């Protein structure tokens, strides 16, 4: 598969050959995929930004400024969260974007974040939430069906928002809901933490990759699909350089976490979308008969989903593929006897119950 943004992320120098219409397409695709700052970093690493017209460069610069601002804000928020957790003797373990940025990994170069994700052991959720409440992080989902759903069936508590700064914090206790097929033993994740700054931890590099793939392949919406794929590609290129034993045991680790299916998809699609170099045999090691049989159908769905949401990238059946993936994500999340009542309830809320649905509506003042 091939589209402009993918080509330019991998071969930034080609930007010099683009005409204005293509540049517009590129920036449009990158902006809607949340990859404009990542692309800007790739251009900067080859000192290309000054060879473009200032009218074009200003969009890259603007995205980089947003990225810089997010990093500053993140450091501030993280320090507050670390202190809050420290007061109850809990470690701060970061997931996803916040982890990439704090650990200063190449995958964090230009990575934009929309919230901060952390994980604590399930039994420590209550004291964690209380400690965070005390320093201004509060849930906006109070006494609603949405809150009930999060607390009963979720792998995280309802998102917390900081009263003054407005930052969103997701507190997880697992990486998949307890109702999902795989039964992930989250305590295994805590056994291999890496301390990246004093008192600040991330998952191990193998677990970061497995988590990123799991998150991506259980999602129902692919607005960030390509961005998450780019994360995987960056990690899979960088981690083996840092640690030659990275590949060894990756498949076993995923099997141990019951997340081999997600890892398999992650590796397969990273290779398909970004040509990520993989060691010989690893795909076969992660593959089984059922995955092999489903592959053509999964390719049909995912190769559409990983394109930017952009008219130039829409193929035949893109909408159908996105819809099927949305349905699939629900099946992956919970068994039918739980799912059907839940969907019925949500549909009811959307049409008749303003109180709950209002929580999700965007604030029009933001315009």
Q: Which is nearer to other proteins, 30 or 236 (CB)?
A: 30
Enter the tokens of residue 199. 């008192």
73 within 8 A of 114, measured Cβ to Cβ: no
Enter the tokens of residue 86. 């420290």
Q: Which is nearer to other proteins, 66 or 283 (CB)?
A: 66
Q: Which is nearer to other proteins, 68 or 134 (CB)?
A: 68
Q: Which is nearer to other proteins, 65 or 188 (CB)?
A: 65
Please report, as ranges, the residues that interact with other proteins according to CB under 8 A.
Answer: 19-21, 23-24, 28-29, 31-32, 53, 55-56, 58-59, 61-62, 65-66, 68-69, 72, 223, 309-311, 361-362, 364-367
CB of 55 to other proteins, least distance (A): 5
| Sheet containing strand 137-139, strands side by side | 137-139, 160-162, 168-172, 116-119, 92-95, 200-202, 194-197
Q: Which is nearer to other proteins, 280 or 366 (CB)?
A: 366
127 within 8 A of 178, measured Cβ to Cβ: no
CB of 37 to other proteins, least distance (A): 12
CB of 106 to other proteins, least distance (A): 24
CB of 72 to other proteins, least distance (A): 7
From CA 225, how far away is CA 217, in angstroms rounded?
9
Q: How many CA atoms lie within 13 A of 236 on its CB side?
A: 27
Q: Where are the alpha helices (DSSP H) in 306-361?
A: 318-333, 336-352, 354-358
CB of 364 to other proteins, least distance (A): 4
Q: Which is nearer to other proteins, 299 or 359 (CB)?
A: 359
Q: Is the dihedral of CA 306, 312, 315, 320 positive or negative?
A: positive
* 232 membership: H or E segment, kind and range: helix 225-242
CB of 367 to other proteins, least distance (A): 4
């Amino acid at each position: 598969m091939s589209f402009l943004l993918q080509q330019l992320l991998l071969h930034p120098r080609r930007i010099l050959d683009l005409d204005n219409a293509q540049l517009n397409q590129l920036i449009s695709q990158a902006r809607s995929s949340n990859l404009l700052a990542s692309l800007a970093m790739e251009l900067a690493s080859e000192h290309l930004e000054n060879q473009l017209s200032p009218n074009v460069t200003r969009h890259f610069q603007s995205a980089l400024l947003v990225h810089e601002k997010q990093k500053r804000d993140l450091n501030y928020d993280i320090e507050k969260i670390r202190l809050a957790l420290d007061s109850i003797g809990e470690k701060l373990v970061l997931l996803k974007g916040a982890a990439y940025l704090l650990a200063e990994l190449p995958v964090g170069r230009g990575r934009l974040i929309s919230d901060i994700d952390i994980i604590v052991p399930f039994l420590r959720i209550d004291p964690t939430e209380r400690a965070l409440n005390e320093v201004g992080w509060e849930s906006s989902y109070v006494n609603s069906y949405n809150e009930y759903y999060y607390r009963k069936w979720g792998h995280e508590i309802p998102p917390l928002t900081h009263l003054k700064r407005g930052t969103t914090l997701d507190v997880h206790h697992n990486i998949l809901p307890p109702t999902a097929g795989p039964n992930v033993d989250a305590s295994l994740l805590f056994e291999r933490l890496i301390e990246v700054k004093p008192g600040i931890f991330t998952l191990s590099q193998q677990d970061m990759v497995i988590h990123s793939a799991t998150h991506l392949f259980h999602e129902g919406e692919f607005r960030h699909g390509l961005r998450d794929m780019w994360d995987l590609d960056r990690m899979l290129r960088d981690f083996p350089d840092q640690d030659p034993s990275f590949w060894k045991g990756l498949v076993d680790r995923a099997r141990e976490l019951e997340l081999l299916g997600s890892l398999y998809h992650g590796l397969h699609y990273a290779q398909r979308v970004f040509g990520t170099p993989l060691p010989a045999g690893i795909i076969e090691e992660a593959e089984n008969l059922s995955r092999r049989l489903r592959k053509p159908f999964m390719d049909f769905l995912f190769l559409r989903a990983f394109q930017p949401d952009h008219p130039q990238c829409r193929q035949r059946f893109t909408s159908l593929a996105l819809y099927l993936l949305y349905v699939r994500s629900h099946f992956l999340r919970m068994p039918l006897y739980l799912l059907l009542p839940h969907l019925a309830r949500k549909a009811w809320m959307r049409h008749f119950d303003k109180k709950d649905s209002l929580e999700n509506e965007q604030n029009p003042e933001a315009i």
